[in-house]
Amino acid sequence: MKTEQPKAIKLQDYTPPAFLIDHVDLEFFLEPEGTRVKSLLKVRRNPDSSGPLHLDGDTLELLSIAVDGRALQEKEYLLDEFFLEVEGLPDKFELAIETRIDPVLNTRLEGLYLSGGNFCTQCEAEGFRRITFYPDRPDVMATYSVTMQADEAKYPVLLSNGNLVSQGKGEGGKHWAKWHDPFPKPCYLFALVAGDLACYADSYKTGSGRDVALKIYVQHGNEDKCAFAMDSLIRSMRWDEERFGLEYDLDIFNIVAVDDFNMGAMENKSLNIFNSKCVLASPDTATDADFERIEAIVAHEYFHNWTGNRVTCRDWFQLSLKEGLTVYRDQEFSSDMRSAPVKRIQDVRTLRARQFPEDAGPLSHPIRPESYIEINNFYTATVYEKGAEVIRMMQEILGREGFRKGIDLYFERHDNQAVTCEDFVAAMEDANGVDLEHFRLWYSQAGTPDVAVTWEYDAASSLFTFKLSQHTADTPGQHNKQPLHIPLTIGLLGQDGQDIPLIQQGTNSGDRTYSKTLRFDCEQQNFSFTDVPPGAVPSINRGFSAPVKLSAMYSDDELLFLMENDSDLFNRWEAAQSSATRLILKMIGEIQSGREPQYVSGFARALASNMANPDLDPAFVAQLMTLPSISYISEQMQVADFDAAEKARSFFKHAIATELCGSLKALYQQGVAGTAYSPDAASMGRRALRNAAMDYLATFEDDRDCRELVVRHYETADNMTDRMAALALLNDFSGAEREVALAAFEQRYQQDPVVMDKWFMVQACSRLPDVLQRIKKLTSHPGFSYKNPNKVRALVGAFASANPVRFHAEDGEGYRFLADNIIHMNAINPQVASRILAPLGGWRRMNPKHQKMMKSELKRILATEKLSGDVYEMASKSLGKEA
């Protein structure tokens, strides 16, 4: 291996900083080729620590350094490639540093860079060290004053955190602006934007009467795509006051949209920077899913103002403190804005698609990891989504009021501090007088618990007993796991399909409750309920109260019974998923042994009864109709067989469509839009249901009427949701319709990079056999660029993560293509390179031939010269080395 093994950083090695910074004064002389940065720091020794002043720095040219006005000689400090250290300093002093950076060369998009000709920054996690020498760690919090100077004609808009203090004209066509942020913050929340941008403005009055100016800055011409993001922002501000009593704390809140961005968005104090695709939306350019995502991300970044900014993380191991909590908050917000069960279903789908495989694979880590090489690799589904589940479980245990008490105490204790996950749990305990000692294990133990449930009924005593057992498999570096405290919500359905009141044996429960959260905290535990009539069917893990893998001894008929009757809509959906998964797995077995798959029609009948139920939300019915994905099905197999999974799933879908053809056509017709597009939940639900019906009807690919139906759907669509729903189907048709639609789409949207991502992505996900050839060709398309993360994710990332059948092609070309692209991207943008690598780590679940091919690509990646720490960590861990 050519690269030296980078060093892992460990939680147990945490030490407080030797010096603290009270105030940062920054001055930027902005030029694309060479920006000068002057920083003046008010520094004082930390009484709780010792050692030299350690400043991080990366790709900086040091121009000068002075302490209390006296320039330091080279021998007075130690300058390494990644840090600068000074010893023998007074307890309190001013440090002046001048550096030079090259924004135009910054293709990593960390620190100060250019996007579409405008300056912008991204500092989380460790980008500030690419701007100036600084203790780049979240437990150093300071107030900031920022002055920037730039050419007025090219960069009329100059923004930073906090309030605009003053502005003026300079010489030679320059102008300047000075901003001040009164709230102490870690440097990862610093931001600066300078550019030629259009502004979409509104305002908000907080509960206590503060007027806040709200502005969204976008490229000229995109002003008409900001209304929904603005509306989402205003709704988030109100919701956070109502639900958590949290008000906005400054007079300005700015959002800036940029095209080149490593992730979705960033919560910099009062100056959120967003990936354009997470802001811009119009009915003609964004799907309903895009609208939902924009609403959630705008809310997420806004909510960080309290959970992340006012109270931040002591160190990066505590990332879930702000991310898990903020995801939980944005999930709750969306759930209040839209249908709660549908939101829960969507979140669980995401958890299962992204976090469960991560937790079962070589990259498994606890929500509070214990070591990392590159922290950017830990912005994971585990830290975010499982982190949110852990917060949700606390809410389940403490109740909504108890949880709110805990949150209040957390802010009372820790406002303006950098704290740990432990501090959060302690606040929850102290506010409620409870002991969460056992529950804490969720923070340190990785892996998804397997929960097995059986039950017994004693007719003589009318006693129903749940018999629970739990086990968490070993994960890299963690063996012999402990049983967790799992809050498991259950119910019992009578033969009439109604909930039975729950009376737990040994408790004098006076109130009639139909759902109960059990405290399941041992390896094996029984819970009994009295007065239960015969024939009751249990409903387990209602609302997905705990993020576990459940296996329960349901018969096929019991699953269908739950699918038709469970009052807990999440579990009704869950029963449909379990039933479909079971049936498809059986068909896979038949296909693998060379037999014809056998179709059983019970599932279609249960589906039809839900489709015909006028009391159900169409958005929910659409979820019920969506079969488990090929990836999810394959994860339930010992050795993944994507081809067989694809065949079985298609066969099953086609069979359902054949049986329900009449009602599907009726559903499709009923949904024909007559009203203007609106992104509200009810309209989205109607579109989702109609498109779900079309999805089934399209399985009659050989029927001319059905092909025409999809083509017509595409051609007559008056919104992006319908257009994409049809395009996704045409994309798998082998005839001319596909090419015609793709060409029309390109023609229509070639000027809109956000929409063109969809065009690249849909093609990357095609099931047609020549997809890889087409993808390779698309890398030379004028709209594609390796420097734009959205494009790489849309084409390369989507192919590897969302097109398993073609990615795992027999000849190994899919693997080779991904590895080639990772090696190429490593030199341009290591964060993006490392984030598309995970599918190669799935080799353990493949057959020996594929295992060998995948491992050899991982080895080839590891042999790359100048391999970044980002890619090294992901590739070596994926191969099974414990880094």
Q: Which residue has the tokens 């993020």?
A: 547
Tokens coding 196: 């030629």
**Separation in Å, CA 396 to CA 184, 399, 518:** 33, 5, 10
How far is it between the farthest Cα atoms of the chain? 95
What are phi and psi for residue 590, nearest 5 degrees?
-65, -45
Contact call for residue 323 and ligand B3K (CB under 6 A)? yes
Residues 413-452 that bind ligand B3K (CB under 6 A): none
Question: Which of Zn ion, ligand B3K, none does residue 263 bind to, with CB < 5 to 8 Å depending on kind?
Answer: ligand B3K
Contact call for residue 315 and ligand B3K (CB under 6 A)? no
Identify the sign of the CA torsion 639, 643, 646, 651: negative
Judged by CB under 6 A, the stretch of 74-82, 261-269, 554-562, 627-635 that binds ligand B3K is 261-269
**Residue type for position 458:** D
Q: Nearer Cβ to ligand B3K, position 189 or 694?
A: 189
Summarize as ranges the residues that interact with Zn ion (CB under 5 A).
323, 326
Q: Nearer Cβ to Zn ion, position 326 or 766?
A: 326
Report H helices in 207-276.
227-244
State the SS3 of 723-772: HHHHHHHHCCCCCHHHHHHHHHHHHHHCCCHHHHHHHHHHHHCCCCCCHH
Q: Nearer Cβ to ligand B3K, position 278 or 694?
A: 278
Least spacing, CB of residue 323 vs ligand B3K, in Å: 5
Least spacing, CB of residue 301 vs Zn ion, in Å: 7
Contact call for residue 468 and ligand B3K (CB under 6 A)? no
Q: 421-432 vs 319-337: helix axis angle to the nearest 10?
A: 60
Q: Residue 257: beta bridge partners?
A: 274
- Binding pattern for the stretch 267-286 against ligand B3K, x by CB under 6 A and - elsewhere: x-------------------
Least spacing, CB of residue 412 vs ligand B3K, in Å: 24
For the question of residue 389 being annotated catalytic, the response is no
**How many whole angstroms from its chain centre is CA 325?**
13
Report H helices in 262-318.
288-303
Cα angle, residue 38 at apex, residues 36 and 43 outer, rounded to 5°: 155
Least spacing, CB of residue 376 vs ligand B3K, in Å: 4
Least spacing, CB of residue 256 vs Zn ion, in Å: 17
Q: Nearer Cβ to ligand B3K, position 299 or 711?
A: 299
In the set 25, 98, 124, 757, which binds ligand B3K (CB under 6 A)?
124
In the set 178, 185, 215, 300, which binds ligand B3K (CB under 6 A)?
300
Question: Residue 15 CB: number of other CB atoms within 10 A?
Answer: 10
Q: Nearer Cβ to ligand B3K, position 653 or 835?
A: 835
Judged by CB under 6 A, the stretch of 134-142, 298-306, 406-414, 500-508 that binds ligand B3K is 298-306
**CA distance linking residue 323 with residue 385, whole number of Å:** 8
Asked whether the beta carbons of 354 and 389 are under 8 A apart, the reply is no
Judged by CB under 6 A, the stretch of 258-266, 431-439, 590-598, 683-691 that binds ligand B3K is 258-266
Question: Which of Zn ion, ligand B3K, none does residue 723 bind to, with CB < 5 to 8 Å depending on kind?
Answer: none
Catalytic residue among 301, 358, 737, 857: 301
Q: How many amino acids of this chain bind ligand B3K (CB under 6 A)?
A: 12
Is 650 exposed, middle or buried, given 0-12, 13-18 or 19+ CB atoms closer than 10 A?
middle
**CA distance linking residue 388 with residue 383, whole number of Å:** 8
**How many whole angstroms from its chain centre is CA 480?**
30
Least spacing, CB of residue 343 vs ligand B3K, in Å: 19
Judged by CB under 6 A, the stretch of 7-15, 288-296, 300-308, 386-394 that binds ligand B3K is 300-308
β-bridge pairing 111-115 and 118-122 = antiparallel
Asked whether the beta carbons of 856 and 816 are under 8 A apart, the reply is no
Q: Residue 202: beta bridge partners?
A: 214
Q: Nearer Cβ to Zn ion, position 379 or 573?
A: 379
Q: Nearer Cβ to ligand B3K, position 305 or 475?
A: 305
Q: Name the DSSP letter for residue 26.
A: E
Question: Which of Zn ion, ligand B3K, none does residue 376 bind to, with CB < 5 to 8 Å depending on kind?
Answer: ligand B3K
**Separation in Å, CA 119 to CA 36, 115, 151:** 13, 6, 12
Q: Nearer Cβ to Zn ion, position 326 or 395?
A: 326
Least spacing, CB of residue 122 vs Zn ion, in Å: 13
β-bridge pairing 450-458 and 549-552 = parallel
Least spacing, CB of residue 123 vs ligand B3K, in Å: 9
What are phi and psi for residue 320, nearest 5 degrees?
-65, -20
3 state DSSP class of 191: coil
Q: Nearer Cβ to ligand B3K, position 312 or 634?
A: 312
Judged by CB under 6 A, the stretch of 297-305, 437-445, 550-558, 835-843 that binds ligand B3K is 297-305
Q: Nearer Cβ to ligand B3K, position 304 or 386?
A: 304
Q: Nearer Cβ to ligand B3K, position 503 or 832?
A: 832
In the set 263, 608, 742, 792, which binds ligand B3K (CB under 6 A)?
263
Q: Nearer Cβ to ligand B3K, position 124 or 295?
A: 124
Contact call for residue 266 and ligand B3K (CB under 6 A)? yes
Least spacing, CB of residue 378 vs ligand B3K, in Å: 9
Judged by CB under 6 A, the stretch of 264-272, 489-497, 499-507, 819-827 that binds ligand B3K is 264-272
Judged by CB under 6 A, the stretch of 57-65, 265-273, 532-540, 799-807 that binds ligand B3K is 265-273
Question: Which of ligand B3K, Zn ion, none does residue 270 bind to, with CB < 5 to 8 Å depending on kind?
Answer: none
Judged by CB under 6 A, the stretch of 112-120, 296-304, 417-425, 455-463 that binds ligand B3K is 296-304
β-bridge pairing 53-56 and 83-86 = antiparallel
Question: Which of Zn ion, ligand B3K, none does residue 379 bind to, with CB < 5 to 8 Å depending on kind?
Answer: ligand B3K
Question: Which of Zn ion, ligand B3K, none does residue 266 bind to, with CB < 5 to 8 Å depending on kind?
Answer: ligand B3K
Buried b (16+ CB within 10 A) or exposed e, 366-393: bbbbebbbbbbbbbbbbbbbbbbbbbbb
- Binding pattern for the stretch 365-404 against ligand B3K, x by CB under 6 A and - elsewhere: -----------x--x-------------------------
Least spacing, CB of residue 108 vs ligand B3K, in Å: 11
- Binding pattern for the stretch 67-106 against ligand B3K, x by CB under 6 A and - elsewhere: ----------------------------------------
**CA distance linking residue 253 with residue 331, whole number of Å:** 22
Q: Which of 92, 551, 621 is nearest to 345 (CA)?
A: 621
Least spacing, CB of residue 266 vs ligand B3K, in Å: 5
**CA distance linking residue 476 with residue 509, whole number of Å:** 44
Identify the sign of the CA torsion 318, 324, 325, 327: positive
Buried b (16+ CB within 10 A) or exposed e, 178-213: bbbbebbbbbbbbbbbbbebeebeeebeeeeeeebe
Question: Which of ligand B3K, Zn ion, none does residue 125 bind to, with CB < 5 to 8 Å depending on kind?
Answer: ligand B3K
3 state DSSP class of 350: helix
Q: Which residue has the tokens 């030679």?
A: 172
Q: Nearer Cβ to ligand B3K, position 143 or 312?
A: 312
Task: State the residues that interact with ligand B3K by CB under 6 A.
Answer: 124-125, 263, 265-267, 300-301, 304, 323, 376, 379
Indicate which residues carry an active-site annotation. 301
